[in-house]
């Protein structure tokens, strides 16, 4: 193992030396790692074997880690020394979605620059009127459900909101899924992340040889999704032709303009892959983060009262937060989501592979070894967060009094870190403030089932199996 990054003096163990759950010959731990419960299984094993430990996917070893400091080290050393799990890139390529999330090597940086600009603070600020009007439309939809005394599946409702927001911001058109009942693009998008989860954790790419019913469903959905994206791109091209010489108005136009430049490396496939990436990344994560937050809010009436007070003061006579500057008075609304994400991180497993042989925490790790980092254990460590098991949004208040106890920001890895940290985190924060304040000003939220019935499902993101709520108008 001759490599600059490997200081052999540090090596005290190899991957084969790591402890781990016993498995079957040739199959390893395959049958103990059901994709839908993967994060729970790995967290349980981390408690049993410590970090790092090793699991076997057939004959392929996967190292599993929990320490935030190591997590930070690995994430900071991207894209040169580490990459995401290689099966993510191949699975996303097959789905026509190898955009920013799965891109590696020299292809990653130019995409990152374009998307960072589109999701920057200043862009979100200038887009605020559209955001606020989408939030008002969401309110109208929820008011109608409340009037009919209907139970709402909150994660599904929120996905309509996040798809409308991402499309308007990044692609310059609002699909108005908030106004539709059936046939919305979310129905197809919903199949992508669970399929990615299955494929990334599969022993071998069976779907290239045998098409199971879920693979056929996915293939049909992808035809619809790509048809949807193609039409959106055609409409954007028409708009650009009509407003010739004006600078791009959104990410999609910026990508199309980059594609039209001489010697451009931006292809039609790349544009389409990034539309798909943003639709999926922007939809599921934020919607589920807010849905998890609502579970805690519903269980805590005094907290609802405080949120009502904060929202009423910031919104004044307006149905939703009236302007970008007023968002800064909605700290508690974002804090409930940050705290929910600490206890229920929607990105519960993050994956890496070293590009060269490395030594991490005394373990010699050959290039290409698969690594899982579990986000939650360090956020539940009392050395990082005081009384970590307690849902306490006030731990996020600024400025913090050190006598309040541990609050290690570096252990909060819900948005990742380093050069590939989530570029959508500002947008997610704004959506959280807007939606929670709108809900709290207008409704009392009640969970329609026993919280014990809500299960965590690993579907690439970590999602609740259900989040049905009743909304009671506040008079």
Annotated binding site, which residues? Answer: 422
Residue 97, both tokens: 């979605």
Q: Which is nearer to ligand HEM, 192 or 278 (CB)?
A: 278
Residues that bind ligand HEM (CB under 6 A): 75, 100-101, 112, 115, 119, 166, 277-278, 281-282, 285-286, 289, 341, 346-347, 350, 414-418, 420-424, 427-428
Q: Which is nearer to ligand HEM, 248 or 424 (CB)?
A: 424
CA-nearest of 120, 114, 128 to 277 is 114
Burial environment of residue 22 by CB neighbours within 10 A (0 to 12, 13 to 18, 19 or more): exposed
Strand ranges, E, within 49-165: 53-57, 60-65, 82-83, 152-153
Q: Which is nearer to ligand HEM, 29 or 277 (CB)?
A: 277
Q: Which is nearer to ligand HEM, 415 or 443 (CB)?
A: 415
CA–CA gap between residue 100 and residue 111 (Å, rounded): 6
Q: Which is nearer to ligand HEM, 380 or 422 (CB)?
A: 422
Shortest distance, position 274 Cβ to ligand HEM, whole Å: 8
Residue 72, both tokens: 């930070």
Query: H/E element holding 385?
Result: none
Residue 213, both tokens: 């019913």
Shortest distance, position 393 Cβ to ligand HEM, whole Å: 15
CA–CA gap between residue 39 and residue 60 (Å, rounded): 18
Binding residues for heme: 422
Q: Which is nearer to ligand HEM, 85 or 443 (CB)?
A: 85
CA–CA gap between residue 201 and residue 36 (Å, rounded): 11
Q: Which is nearer to ligand HEM, 273 or 359 (CB)?
A: 273
Q: Which is nearer to ligand HEM, 55 or 427 (CB)?
A: 427
Shortest distance, position 148 Cβ to ligand HEM, whole Å: 30
CA–CA gap between residue 193 and residue 336 (Å, rounded): 25
Place of tokens 């992340």: 193
Q: Which is nearer to ligand HEM, 30 or 163 (CB)?
A: 163
List, edge to edge, every strand of the sheet that includes 13-14: 13-14, 363-365, 358-360
CA–CA gap between residue 84 and residue 86 (Å, rounded): 6
Residues composing the chain: 475
CA-nearest of 354, 275, 462 to 82 is 354
Shortest distance, position 444 Cβ to ligand HEM, whole Å: 24
Shortest distance, position 17 Cβ to ligand HEM, whole Å: 28
Shortest distance, position 350 Cβ to ligand HEM, whole Å: 6
CA-nearest of 57, 53, 65 to 31 is 57
CA–CA gap between residue 416 and residue 428 (Å, rounded): 14
Neighbours of 2 (CB within 10 A): 6
**Between the CA atoms of 333, 336, 384 and 361, what dihedral angle is there, to the nearest 10 degrees?**
-100
Contacts of 108 (CB under 8 A, 6+ apart): 79, 100, 420
Shortest distance, position 48 Cβ to ligand HEM, whole Å: 25
Shortest distance, position 83 Cβ to ligand HEM, whole Å: 10
Shortest distance, position 25 Cβ to ligand HEM, whole Å: 35
* Strand-pair partners of 97: none
């Amino acid at each position: 193992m001759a490599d600059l990054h490997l200081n052999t003096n540090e090596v005290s163990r190899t991957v084969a030396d790591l402890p781990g759950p016993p498995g079957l010959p040739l199959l390893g731990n395959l049958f103990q790692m059901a994709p839908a419960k993967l994060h729970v299984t790995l967290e349980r094993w981390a408690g049993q074997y410590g970090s790092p430990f090793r699991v076997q996917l057939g004959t392929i070893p996967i190292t599993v880690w929990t320490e935030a400091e190591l997590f930070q080290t690995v994430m900071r050393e991207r894209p040169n020394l580490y990459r995401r799990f290689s099966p993510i890139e191949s699975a996303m390529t097959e789905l026509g979605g190898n955009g920013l999330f799965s891109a590696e090597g020299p292809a990653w940086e130019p995409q990152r620059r374009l998307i960072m600009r589109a999701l920057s603070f200043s862009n979100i600020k200038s887009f605020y009127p559209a955001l606020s009007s989408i939030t008002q439309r969401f309110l109208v939809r929820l008011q109608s459900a409340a009037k009919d005394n209907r139970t709402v599946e909150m994660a599904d409702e929120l996905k309509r909101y996040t798809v409308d927001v991402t499309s308007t911001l990044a692609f310059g058109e609002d699909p108005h899924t908030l106004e539709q009942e059936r046939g919305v693009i979310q129905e197809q998008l919903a199949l992508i992340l669970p399929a990615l989860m299955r494929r990334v954790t599969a022993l071998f790419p069976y779907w290239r040889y045998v098409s199971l019913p879920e693979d056929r469903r996915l293939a049909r959905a992808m035809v619809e999704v790509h048809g949807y994206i193609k039409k959106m791109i055609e409409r954007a091209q028409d708009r650009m032709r009509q407003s010739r010489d004006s600078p791009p108005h959104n990410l999609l136009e910026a990508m199309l303009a980059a594609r039209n430049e001489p010697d451009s490396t931006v292809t039609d496939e790349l544009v389409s892959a990034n539309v798909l990436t943003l639709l999926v990344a922007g939809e599921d994560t934020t919607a589920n983060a807010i849905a998890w937050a609502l579970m805690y809010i519903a269980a805590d009436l005094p907290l609802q009262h405080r949120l009502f007070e904060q929202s009423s003061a910031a919104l004044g006579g307006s149905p939703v937060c009236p302007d970008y500057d007023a968002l800064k008075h909605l700290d508690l609304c974002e804090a409930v989501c940050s705290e929910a994400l600490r206890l229920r991180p929607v990105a519960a497993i993050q994956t890496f592979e070293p590009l060269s042989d490395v030594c991490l925490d005394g373990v010699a790790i050959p290039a290409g070894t698969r690594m899982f980092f579990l986000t939650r254990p360090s956020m539940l460590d009392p050395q990082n967060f005081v009384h970590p098991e307690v849902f306490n949004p006030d731990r996020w208040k600024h400025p913090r009094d050190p006598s309040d106890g541990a609050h290690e920001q570096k252990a909060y890895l819900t948005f990742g870190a380093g050069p590939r940290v989530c570029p959508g985190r500002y947008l997610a924060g704004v959506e959280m403030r807007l939606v929670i304040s709108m809900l709290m000003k207008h409704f009392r939220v009640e969970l329609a089932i026993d919280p014990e019935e809500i299960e965590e499902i690993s579907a690439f993101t970590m999602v609740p199996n259900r989040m049905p709520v009743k909304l009671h108008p506040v008079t």
